[in-house]
Amino acid sequence: MKVVVTGAKGQLGTDLVHLLSDRGYAVYGYRREELDITNFDQVKQVISEVNPDVVIHAAAYTKVDLAESEPDQAFSINAYGTRNVAIVSETVGAKLVYISTDYVFDGTANVPYHEFAPTNPLSVYGKSKLAGEQFVRDLHSKFFIVRTSWVYGKHGNNFVKTMLKLAQERDELMVVHDQVGCPTYTVDLANCILELVQTERYGIYHVSNSGYCSWYEFAKAIFEEAGIKVKVNPCTTKDFPRPAPRPAYSVFDHMALRLNGFKAMSNWRDSLRVFLGKL
């Protein structure tokens, strides 16, 4: 089976390329320098030449705060770039996986979001990713839209690495406690995506590790599991104003995984322990 991975040098893309290669797939991973998804002709040429069975579209504009002042950039990549990938993937008959985000929700719920819950993104980033979802739904017939959240892994920058770095510089930290969500380990996410593409159970999926926590609780768990002594103090989102609004509550219900017979995702704390053990 031939698989194209866009955003192959990102933290998820890198793990996907490694996992698929280890499992014997013919993997064609493209960095931004090798495949500009906003260039339709280039997308058409590259994907048509490979003629893959599956396209995993992990490339994205992910600078959440910068997107507020660069909406054209965000929509060019996340919406129209995704449109280009969707059209060409459909033309060559490839299954398409589009990586989306918890930012498509406004965070006003008080029960976990399932895949049929109404979306209402607050930020430019969230709106641009939802526009990408819409293009996938409109232009492709065999798709998996995979919404994920609070992603961390070995490659690239993420919250876990930031906390570990700050712990070397300070003995006391402030972390927001009024944003609640689901941490997701890239290796678990990649494994779930691999399971999905081996089926024809198309649709939208919420894929995160199970359970949930606040950023404050996540930080405390990181230091506990790593055996690092740091004082972590809770603070509010208002104490740390950022250009882009975040959903205060973006806990996922994995309804689609459950109803389509996929195995449950491991608990976030267990996966954090595994990650720190490998790190």
In which region does residue 82 sit, left (phi positive, over 0), alpha (psi from -120 to 50) or beta (all else)? alpha
Tokens matching residue 31: 């960095």
The DSSP output letter for 78 is I
Q: Residue 169's CB: how many other CB atoms inside 10 A? A: 7
Known catalytic residue at 30: no
Tokens matching residue 237: 């989102």
Q: Which residue(s) pair with 230 in the sheet?
A: none
Could you give the CA distance from residue 74 to residue 276 in angstroms, rounded to a whole number?
32
Residue from 125, 185, 205, 212 carrying the catalytic annotation: 125
Q: Minimal CA–CA distance to 51: which of 92, 99, 98?
A: 92
Q: How many residues does the chain have?
A: 279
Give me the active site residues, please: 125
